[in-house]
Structure 1
């Protein structure tokens, strides 16, 4: 029995080593919750601008810019409050996600940056970079109704593409973002609501599930490896 237990322990150790080398397991559920909260706060401010006292002014300015040159340059649009809110929301979500992931990597004694992390980042960044170029082109020509669904679609593709290097829940989050983006294509006037649901609610749900499954107990690392 003792010899059998030793063999089982050896197999578990080998499994842990293989997962450490093939998957980035330091993603924190709290980072997803924090990113979702940042997105909801950003959507709330965006809603106040679009539907509040400044909404008519913004729409009139966009129409004026389109009438002036036929399209809207990035320099003209850079001063728009909605773009500023989007950039601030992204920065806040990125910083919070990095902090919680760093804390978890220290807790689990796993490196934050390594071969697997680089592969994960490459697989995330390629669809995001392509999507960024596409969305900037939409901004240039004033096709604002496709911005929100474009964000959701390319972000979903990035998550699905990178899911093979991290926990499987990332893939399901990516599917959710992708489906929302495709549905939003049929309702371009409701982009802010889809954006808030995808980047806000789905991230909070995903982060909560991740935290409950892997982090609520002190032995969260062993819970990951035993999956």
Structure 2
């Protein structure tokens, strides 16, 4: 009986240590909603960049039209803001329900480790935009986002690492197929996020 009590106590201590070392307030629905935002943004981008009567054929004028480029940047920024806001709100609500703090040592470590690749990738994308290298922007977005997820996954659910690996792989394929970057962008930030968010919700959020 004492041995069982000891094992239960050790298991409780281990669980407590894992909660303190990892940010576990990420909400699966935030991934689903981020994917939906991304698909809406991709559709808007499609209408801006491609000729609707010729499938995935570039409208060359649009690609070099500053107004169109500005609209694409605005769409991407709005998708990013909506995704981050949704993640913060849902994660804060989940942490409150579980009587946990959203801003702790684990969340700070997650932000730092994921933030470095994200910031680096963001600066590179701005340089690519300025230089007019539009064909590699989508691959760069996917690859650096994937690297950020892999880097930050040590401080949250291990599932995040696999999402990051898939994003990097998708980004590399996008780099090999110029002209289809928007499709890969929609696949990575849209479809993969919806699948990932659904799995996370089923594993960690449903009936919690």
TM-score normalized by structure 1? 0.84
| Mapped pair 1:141 → 2:140 | no
Q: Deviation string for 1:134-185 (max 9, x for gaps)?
A: 1111111100000000000000000000111111000000000000000111
Supply the distance in 2 between the matched residues of 1:108 and 1:132 (Cα, whole angstroms). 34
RMSD between superposed Cα atoms in Å: 2.1
Count of matched residue positions in the alignment of Structure 1 and Structure 2: 205
Q: Which has the larger radius of gyration?
A: 1
Work out whether residues 153 and 161 of structure 2, in 8 Å CA contact, stay in contact via their aligned partners in 1: yes
Unaligned runs of 5+ in 1: 66-75, 219-227
- How far is the alpha carbon of 1:205 from its aligned partner? 0.5
Secondary structure at 1:113 match in 2? coil
Q: Deviation string for 1:36-77 (max 9, x for gaps)?
A: 111011111111212257xx9x742654x7xxxxxxxxxx57
- How far is the alpha carbon of 1:86 from its aligned partner? 0.6
| Mapped pair 1:186 → 2:185 | no
Secondary structure at 2:179 match in 1? helix
Aligned to 1:165: 155
Secondary structure at 1:111 match in 2? coil
Unaligned runs of 5+ in 2: none
Aligned to 1:60: 61
Name whichever of 88-97 and 152-161 sits farther off.
88-97
- CA 1:52/1:78 → structure 2, altered by over 3 Å: closer, same or farther? closer
Aligned to 2:205: 215
Aligned to 1:18: 17
